[in-house]
Amino acid sequence: MRMSLRFGIDLGGTKTEIIALQGSDERLRRRLPTPQGDYPATLQTIVSLVREAEAQLGSCGSVGVGIPGTRSPDHGLIKNANSTCLIGEDLQGDLERLLERPVRLANDADCFTLSEASDGAGAGADNVFGVILGTGVGGGIAIHGRLLSGPNAIAGEWGHNALPWRSTADGPTRRCYCGLDDCIETFLSGPGWAARSDLGLNARELVAAAERGEPAATEALARYCEQLARALASVINILDPQVIVLGGGLSNIPALYHEVPPLLVRHVFSDQVNTRLVQARHGDSSGVRGAAWLWPE
């Protein structure tokens, strides 16, 4: 039997990507820049990617979209999006009207987690916490290969808890875009880390400088690892996942995987930490693949 096509779309802060899956086989992948602060243009970007993919492959009934926020279960509008032009918009309804078909939305970190728990670095684990370390900080939870949801549609949103066990060494208080102070996102996102390091370097440049052995950048990376360990320890104390999978641009820092695990035991309520910290198997593809899998075969 011929498997149907499923389209997944990852609506990111800088790029919007589409993938076409037939079963688990990738048939097409394409990306466009994400319009900045322009909701109507964002809609048209998504629609054009779908139309172009269908022109090449034929019609596809299912479209799943991973977004940097979530759809409120109360009023159906987007909330909690760091791409703030989405907040308060009926993204699902607008896309269904323009594409003339049902559309499923999920938080981008949930899509990432679904992908990695299905056949990625967390495959076979009963309890997976997926982490996005990029422009923002997000998370998702998969139990027995299924996304965990809740009445507020915010399961896994660890990035908007305060950094635990904070001290003066963590620097001055900073306001998060969400309106609260010292959210984990203001420390561990790429822009947050760069701003708090106060070296005039972006995250990519900080990593390169640390790898060259520059003392200030090396210290900034060590501080980042220690803050990440504290933040993840608070998740382990509540969820006790078998696997934590890291994704997003900062997940490509090799030091995270050998520096962070030994630091966890200081804050995890256990004499030993058996949770595995691993890098995403599918890398940048995980979010868009998970969006396609929002629709079952």
Q: What is the pTM for the complete model shown?
A: 0.88
Judged by DSSP in three states, 88 sits in coil
pLDDT for the residue 2: 54
Contact 98/9 with Cβ under 8 angstroms?
no
Structure tokens at 142: 């998969």
What domains appear along the chain, each with residue ranges and CATH number? 5-112+285-294 (3.30.420.40), 124-280 (3.30.420.40)
Between strands 78-79 and 70-71, the pairing is antiparallel
Count of beta carbons in the 10 Å neighbourhood of residue 100? 7
- Report in angstroms the alpha-carbon separations of 105 from 32, 181, 208, 286, 293: 19, 28, 36, 15, 11
Alpha helices in the chain (DSSP H): 39-57, 91-99, 108-119, 185-188, 190-197, 203-211, 215-239, 255-264, 286-292
Of 249, 256, 248, the C-alpha closest to 287 is 248
pLDDT for the residue 228: 98
pLDDT for the residue 3: 65
Q: Which helix (H) or strand (E) holds 90?
A: none
Measured CA to CA, the distance from residue 220 to residue 289 in angstroms comes to 33
For the chain, how many helices (H) and strands (E)?
Answer: 9, 12
Structure tokens at 285: 């593809």
How many angstroms from the chain centroid is the CA of residue 203?
A: 17
- Residuewise pLDDT in 10s, the chain (297 residues): 456 889 999 998 888 999 999 887 899 999 999 999 999 999 999 999 999 999 999 888 789 999 989 999 999 999 988 888 999 999 999 999 999 999 999 999 999 999 999 889 999 999 999 999 998 899 999 999 999 989 999 999 999 999 999 999 999 999 998 899 999 999 999 999 999 999 999 999 999 999 999 999 999 999 999 999 999 999 999 999 999 999 999 999 999 999 999 999 999 999 999 999 999 999 888 999 999 989 876
Contact 156/272 with Cβ under 8 angstroms?
no
Q: Which residues fall within 8 angstroms of residue 280, CB to CB, at 6 or more apart?
A: 112, 116, 120, 121, 245, 246, 247, 251, 286
Q: Which residues fall within 8 angstroms of residue 210, CB to CB, at 6 or more apart?
A: 217, 218, 220, 221, 255
